[in-house]
Structures are given as structure tokens and as C-alpha cells.
Amino acid sequence: MSLLAFSSYALNGVDAQKFLQGQVTVDTERLAENETRYTAICDLKGRIHFGLWLKKINPESFEIVVAQDQAEEFAKHIKKFGAFSKMTLSEQGAVFPKVVNHQTEFNTTETDISEWQKQAIMTGQAWITQATEHEFQPQELRLHQREGVNYDKGCYLGQEIVARLWFKAKPKHWLHLVQGTGEAPASATQLNNDVEVVNSIANDESYLALVVAKPAALQELGLQVLELPEALSGDVARPQ
């Protein structure tokens, strides 16, 4: 039985798009309507504080889904930063995920969350929970390859560091799909100094996991590296 659950929110009002533009890593102005996109709100160190699935109904109406264990903190964050914006955040209740064409969609019909976890991991759809908040930079999770980061948009929380890492540096660690033996390690587990678990799930006598790692460190641990979908299998660094 999976303990993972998701909460849905509606953000409505004339300032909704403008407010989110100053919060999330994706460009909300260019976001296609009725398309769910996984994106992030970063902290001032450029690490992901909240991971969220964002759907733009129109510029004044957005649906937002977060892991349930981040929901209360997320709502407080929005109300704090959005106190002077003309908009309202309202909780819509529990929703359930399903993978459709390598993307996650949510609705109110109950689904097998363990099955979603396995499919999400195998398609490189890393997600953030309370255990992994403030741990990873968007680039390390290949969020830009999922169209969840726009490096050319204006200011948002942590933008200075996120942009600097993209334009002037190359990450030493990034997302890989691996298979290991034994019990599935919990999220945020450090398998060694250069391998940290983002998400994992038991798979017969082994486990599948998305880890942020140095490639050489995976070989040292004897983990089998599996292929990610083509869109997520390239170099995470900015093309030179």
C-alpha cells in the first residue's frame, strides 16, 4: 500500500498568472492551456522547495497538484507571497495520478498509486515530496528536458542561481534510472557521497529508482543503469 498521495488546488484571480510567473521555473505566459506540466518553486539557493503539476485553464485560472505531505506548507507559501495579489487559493481535495504518453495527468477517479510510481520512475518523471525538498536543483532532475524550466524568463525565486548554473557551469550530478538489489531505499537516502535517491519502488526481487548521481559512482555501487526516454537521455548541460 503506497503512502503517497496528492492534493489539488485551484488558483483563481486576475493576478494568478503574474503571481505564478514570479514563483515557478516554467514560463506561465507561454504555457499552453489545459496541458499539465511538472515544474518547481525553488528556494533562494536555487534548490527545489515544492514540486508541482501545473495546469493553466486560462491566465486567471490554474490547477496545481502537489504531494500531500507538502500541501499545507505549499498553501502557506502561496498565501504568504501572494498576500497582496488579487487571487484566491482553494483546496480541491485528493486527486489520483495516471501516466499518459510519458506525462502524468490527475483526476478524482482512484488509481493504483504504486503502479503510477513504477511508471513515473521508468519514464524519468521525478517528483518531490517533503523528504526531498531543498535537495535538488531543477537541472539535476532534468526538469528542463521535461519543459518544466525556462532559463530565459524573468525573475522568480532562486532564478539567479538556477540561471547561473545553466549558463556558466555544468552539473556534476544528474538524474539516472537504476535497478538495484535488495529493499528499495527511501527517498533522500544517500547511497554514497555521489548518489542520492529521489524516488524508488520495489520491483520483484529488486528495486527501481531515480537517483541524482555522478555516473562513475553508479558503477562503483554495482547499480544497473537503465535507459530513460529519449527526451531525458541527453546531456543535462547547456549545449555549447
For residue 2, the model assigns a pLDDT of: 59
Q: Is 92 helix (H, G, I), strand (E, B) or coil?
A: strand
- Within 8 A by CB and 6+ apart from 112, the residues are none
Alpha-carbon distance of 154 to 52, in angstroms, equals 20
Which residue positions in the chain have pLDDT lower than 70? 1-2
The cell 517528483 sits on which residue?
A: 127
Q: Is 79 left (phi over 0), alpha (psi -120 to 50) or beta?
A: alpha
Q: Is 164 helix (H, G, I), strand (E, B) or coil?
A: helix
Alpha-carbon distance of 77 to 89, in angstroms, equals 11
Q: Is 16 helix (H, G, I), strand (E, B) or coil?
A: helix
Contact of 224 with 194, CB cutoff 8 Å = no
pLDDT tens-digit map of 199-216: 999 998 899 999 999 999
pLDDT tens-digit map of 105-130: 999 999 999 999 999 999 999 999 99
- pTM value is 0.95
The C-alpha cell at 1 is: 500500500
Nearest C-alpha neighbor of 203 from the set 229, 227, 177: 177
For residue 38, the model assigns a pLDDT of: 98
- Within 8 A by CB and 6+ apart from 131, the residues are 186, 187, 188
Q: Is 219 helix (H, G, I), strand (E, B) or coil?
A: helix
Q: Determine whether 227 is exposed, middle or buried from the number of CB atoms within 10 Å of its CB (0-12, 13-18, 19+).
A: exposed
For residue 101, the model assigns a pLDDT of: 85
pLDDT tens-digit map of 14-30: 999 999 999 999 999 99
Q: What is the CA radius of gyration of the chain?
A: 17
For residue 1, the model assigns a pLDDT of: 42
